[in-house]
Chain A
Amino acid sequence: MSDFLDTLSVLILLSSFVLMANKRIKSYIETFRIQSLLIALVAGIMGVDSLLTEGRFDILVVCLLIIILKVIYIPALLHRTYVNVKYKVEKDFILNIPILIIVCCGLVVFSYFTLATVDGLNESIFNIQFVNSVSVIWIGLFFMISRKKAIGQIIGFLVIENGLYITAMLSTQGMPFIVDLGISIDLLTAVMIMGLMVFRINEKFDSIDTDQLNNLKG
């Protein structure tokens, strides 16, 4: 089972690289959906494992929650937001894509070396899954600052959250159910508020380019 989780964690890392290489907001949303599906798959594998060994079924419930929330509802919400925004010029990254990807590559190396020097992480925790999932957090953060448009930044936030989630899940073999539930509901509220904010920014400035927020408007 550990091999499967290794491979899945690499694929999740890969999906965040693919997200970084994407150019269109629609494909951001689709890639986020695929990443969430992979995370649901991790939760599903761990859930089945804990059901068989300990008789707990709460991780399977979490898996279902991820599928409903992150694979179906949030992408649909973002897609609706995107359709309703009038301003649709899409090129919104600050550097060109090969440079962004090479910086991400540096982030993975960085997280590998930083995690290797942290005290208190024993050999069983410091493994491939941990490095990969922490790298997802870094890449989400970098994605957020590399995109100018509000929807791209929301996706960056969601990827950071995915990274935190997968880190927590892989290093604790399943968090307590109430924590998972709290995180999910927080996330849902945050995304709904952000979606509303995008509408407001679009109405005020005729654009969802967040650079425009720096301009004074009388």
Chain B
Amino acid sequence: MNSMIYILVQILVIIMAAPLVNGIIKKIKALTQKRKGAPVFQMYFDIYKLLQKNSVVSEVSSWIFKVTPYIVFTTAIAAALLVPVSTKLITQQIPGDFIMLVSILALGRFFMMAAALDTAGTFGGMGSSREAMISSLIEPSILVSLFTVGLISQSTSLPQIMNAVQNTGVPLLHPVYIMVFLALLIVIIAETSRIPVDDPSTHLELTMVHEAMILEYSGRHLALMEYGAAIKQLTFITLLVNILIPSDQLIGFTGIGALALSLVIYLLKVVLLSVIIAIIEVNTVKFRLFSIPNLAALSFILAFLGILQYFILGGSHV
């Protein structure tokens, strides 16, 4: 029963809120450019419209092309189920840890790249080769930074990590956690195709990465792909805010009221982080493709410095 509630809340919150994050980021970008911008809920309308349309599938494509949108969408939901939106929700262990989270997302990404190659379009091949480069550069820094927080809390399970972090006071003033925070911020920007790495709002052939891979999709399939990307983005944001900006320790009482309050605080934190991401996106320019390894190296170094500080501290002070 308890796990049913967990799954229900998790799916409701993450799936309902995922397109909102995109809406907020787009709105802030529009406001900084002195435009009015699309409404915050625009992505819901888009997905609703796309879901009612048939999709056009190329004659030369194989089954991979047709099955990929469903795989991308389900892997995104499976990943979202592994990252609890509130620690008030968990009373027992959930199966799966952050290694599984990273590998589930890698599965979805693998199929996305295969599908882009499948139609043999020139942009698809280019997009998937770029995506392979970026993801192989970024993945070490996700794992190293999550292992750092895992070492501190002596567990690889995300609910346990979140519970352990709540005892450390303000994590962002802590030498280990601040490194992990900055590393994961770069990871989020790279994983969700945000501006220094990829531009989500253009279809310029020189720069697009994620857009190049989903270029051949239309109708229902496109809706699933975009929704999957939005859920993946919210999953990463949840990971960051719940590990590094913990707030559930402030709620003294338990029960349904505590759960509701902590969900409200969680949504506020998500909005805060979306604003931060939007500000970063407004203030930076897109890097050249061959400058991305520098950013990835910096992210890896941040994670590595975090783990090194943990060992210098001796593990006992933390």
A interface with B by C-beta (< 8 Å) = 3-4, 6-7, 9-11, 13-14, 17-18, 21, 23, 97-98, 101-102, 104-105, 108-109, 112, 127-128, 131
- Assuming the contacts A4-B173, A18-B298, A98-B294, asked whether A131 and B312 have C-beta atoms less than 8 A apart, the reply is yes
A-B contact pairs, 15 of them (CB 8 A): A7-B173, A10-B309, A17-B298, A17-B301, A17-B305, A21-B294, A97-B297, A98-B294, A98-B297, A101-B298, A108-B305, A108-B308, A112-B308, A128-B175, A128-B312
B301 touches A101 (CB 8 A): yes
| Contact partners of B309 in chain A: CB under 8 A | 10, 128
The answer to the question of B178 belonging to the interface, with a C-beta cut-off of 8 Å to chain A, is yes
CA distance A11 to B293 in the complex (A): 22
A3 touches B298 (CB 8 A): no
The answer to the question of B179 belonging to the interface, with a C-beta cut-off of 8 Å to chain A, is yes
B297 touches A109 (CB 8 A): no
A97 touches B294 (CB 8 A): yes
Tell me whether chain B's interface is mostly helix, strand or loop, or mixed: helix
A109 touches B178 (CB 8 A): no
B111 CB to closest chain A CB, in angstroms? 29
Whose C-beta in chain B lies nearest to the C-beta of A6? Answer: B175
| Contact partners of A102 in chain B: CB under 8 A | 297, 301
B168 CB to closest chain A CB, in angstroms? 10
A105 touches B174 (CB 8 A): no
CA distance A7 to B296 in the complex (A): 23
The answer to the question of B123 belonging to the interface, with a C-beta cut-off of 8 Å to chain A, is no
B174 touches A21 (CB 8 A): no
Interface readout for B300-315 with A: 1 if CB under 8 Å, 0 if not?
A: 0110110011011100
B53 CB to closest chain A CB, in angstroms? 44
B175 touches A7 (CB 8 A): yes
B285 CB to closest chain A CB, in angstroms? 13
A15 CB to closest chain B CB, in angstroms? 12
Task: Find residues 258-317 in chain B having any chain A CB closer than 8 Å to their own CB.
Answer: 293-294, 296-298, 301-302, 304-305, 308-309, 311-313
A112 touches B173 (CB 8 A): no
B interface with A by C-beta (< 8 Å) = 173-175, 178-179, 182, 293-294, 296-298, 301-302, 304-305, 308-309, 311-313
B304's contact among A21, A98, A105, A128, by CB below 8 Å, is which?
Answer: A105
CA distance A126 to B137 in the complex (A): 34
CA distance A139 to B296 in the complex (A): 19
CA distance A13 to B302 in the complex (A): 10
| Contact partners of B178 in chain A: CB under 8 A | 7, 10-11
| Contact partners of B175 in chain A: CB under 8 A | 3, 6-7, 9-10, 128
| Contact partners of A131 in chain B: CB under 8 A | 312
- Assuming the contacts A3-B174, A4-B173, asked whether A10 and B305 have C-beta atoms less than 8 A apart, the reply is yes
B293 touches A98 (CB 8 A): yes
B312 touches A21 (CB 8 A): no
A101 touches B174 (CB 8 A): no
B174 touches A13 (CB 8 A): no
| Contact partners of A112 in chain B: CB under 8 A | 308, 311-312
- Assuming the contacts A10-B179, A21-B294, A98-B293, asked whether A105 and B173 have C-beta atoms less than 8 A apart, the reply is no
| Contact partners of A10 in chain B: CB under 8 A | 175, 178-179, 305, 309
B308's contact among A9, A11, A23, A109, by CB below 8 Å, is which?
Answer: A109
CA distance A14 to B180 in the complex (A): 12
| Contact partners of A7 in chain B: CB under 8 A | 173-175, 178
CA distance A127 to B179 in the complex (A): 18
CA distance A10 to B309 in the complex (A): 8
Whose C-beta in chain B lies nearest to the C-beta of A109? Answer: B308
Whose C-beta in chain A lies nearest to the C-beta of B290? Answer: A96
B313 touches A13 (CB 8 A): no
A101's contact among B297, B308, B311, B312, by CB below 8 Å, is which?
Answer: B297
